[in-house]
Amino acid sequence: MTSKLLFHDVHAILIPENISKTRIDIMRQRLTEKGGTVVTSTSTKVTHIITAHQCLHQVLGFLKLDTLPPDCKVVSPDFIAKSIQHGCLEHSGCEVQFIEPALPKKTESVIRVLDSDEELSEAETEPLDDYEQQLMESMWSESQAATTETDNEFENPPSIYSEATNAEATSNSNQTERKKIIIPEALLRYMNASPNSSENKNQHITDEFTRLVKRAETEGNQWRIRSYKKAVKIISKLSFRIMSKEDVKGLKGIGKNMTLKIEEILRTGYSLKAHTIPEKFGPLEKFKNIYGVGEKIAEKFYTIGYRTLEDVKSKATLTRDQQLGIKYYDDFLQRIPRSECSKIAEFVTKMVHELDANLICRMMGSYLRGSETCGDVDFMITDPNGLPNEGLLESIVLKLKNVGFILENLSSPASEDGHERIWRGICKLAGVGIARRIDILIVPFDELGAATIYFTGNTEFNRCIRLLARKMGYSLNQHGLFRKGPNGEKTLVASKTEQEIFDILGVPWKPATERNI
């Protein structure tokens, strides 16, 4: 009696989106060689759906179904190779763990995909800032991910954004058309992804492209900066490890030049261009690492003829902040270990509570998100009894100076409304010997939720959630979530807790450690 081939009982649909044509051909060949069947219609028996998608609505949209076929497993493109390697159907580690968005709880807006040629009306949006415009352009390009040529019935695969309707609102036939909302993909991943679901399987490649971004930034080549950043975003989200240039052929956003760079990295382990430093790269990087010196000032220093920190120190006219930036240059370059951050947090909290035991004092930023190292330390302080005392910030700074913790003042932004105030300076923990950057922020207790979102980050999370709020007719900042009226007026909707803001936007609350999107 002849033994059955490995894939004898497998009837699989191959969804080609985000998988190169070459890889699709190889999977089809290996599947059929081992007795499997590639099906092109759900009208026949389907045991497996092979896809690079991580969202159920994308798979169902591609198949043009409301639910998955019964007893059908959805697996990643690694399923065929791993099964052959192990000599059995290897579902472990290959079954797709879907991530799906939570729909807004307090809005009747429709969350749906916008066609690439569809424009938002002025009533639905307001002018975007530079970053948001780039984000929107990125959305359009990524939503048109390349597909392989196929003669099956599945056409027009959906994009990477959520499409859903509010069932209650839909039942009202007299209701006027509602707004169209786009959920940025990074925020979509956060909304229901597990902390480990976004593992980068091609870190060795994206690290080199990140170096290429830095080089392009030094050259001021905006086109290359955006191209390399886009490549990092695409490659880091692939569900498979790139083994050859063939694996990326057909991927939208990865053109001929990017493919050649990937091939070089795979062959040599690095990108020669990323490690070939232009002459001015070194001086510009040194100058930009001076506190208070940005890209334009650094370029100005280089154009004048400065090449070293000593040139800047002895020849340039510097602000006080820049002078301190040079004085503490080496210290500021050193990342702060989490253990030291914890000691600083404990010390500052103790000093604050000696002034008023009722005050809430938290270290924010990357520390709150669980980072092992931080660039500086940020504290947010509020009084649960109401508005903070007008002299509270000065009292805290003076106390920390008197115990030798604060070394220097740095320039601080002016208060917007007299309630939120920020102080910036330089501190040193006893027994450490390294100066650190510190920010102390005083916020009204009624704004604690909005301020916590804002000062927790990360930057990408904040930008995405602000963009989502804008598309839903709100405005979100560190003071609160506001509804925008027809004449531009703003009405406060929520500000006290993160939970109430997240609920209104339909975004599940998760701890800060899961916001590193």
Q: Which residues are catalytic?
A: 261
Q: Are 222 and 133 in contact (CB under 8 A)?
A: no
d(CA 514, CA 517): 8
* Stretch (H or E) spanning 374: strand 373-374
Q: Are 178 and 208 in contact (CB under 8 A)?
A: no
- Please give the C-alpha separations between residue 263 and each of 171, 242, 268, 275, in angstroms, as whole numbers: 53, 10, 9, 16
Q: Inter-axis angle of helices 21-33 and 78-86, to 10 degrees?
A: 40
d(CA 352, CA 383): 11
d(CA 277, CA 59): 44
d(CA 509, CA 517): 14
Residues paired with residue 480 on neighbouring β-strands, in sequence order = 477
Per-residue DSSP letter, 113:
P
What DSSP assignment string belongs to 247-313? GGTT-TT--HHHHHHHHHHHHHSS-HHHHS--TTHHHHHHHHTSTT--HHHHHHHHHHT--SHHHHH
Both tokens assigned to 89: 């159907």
d(CA 156, CA 106): 32
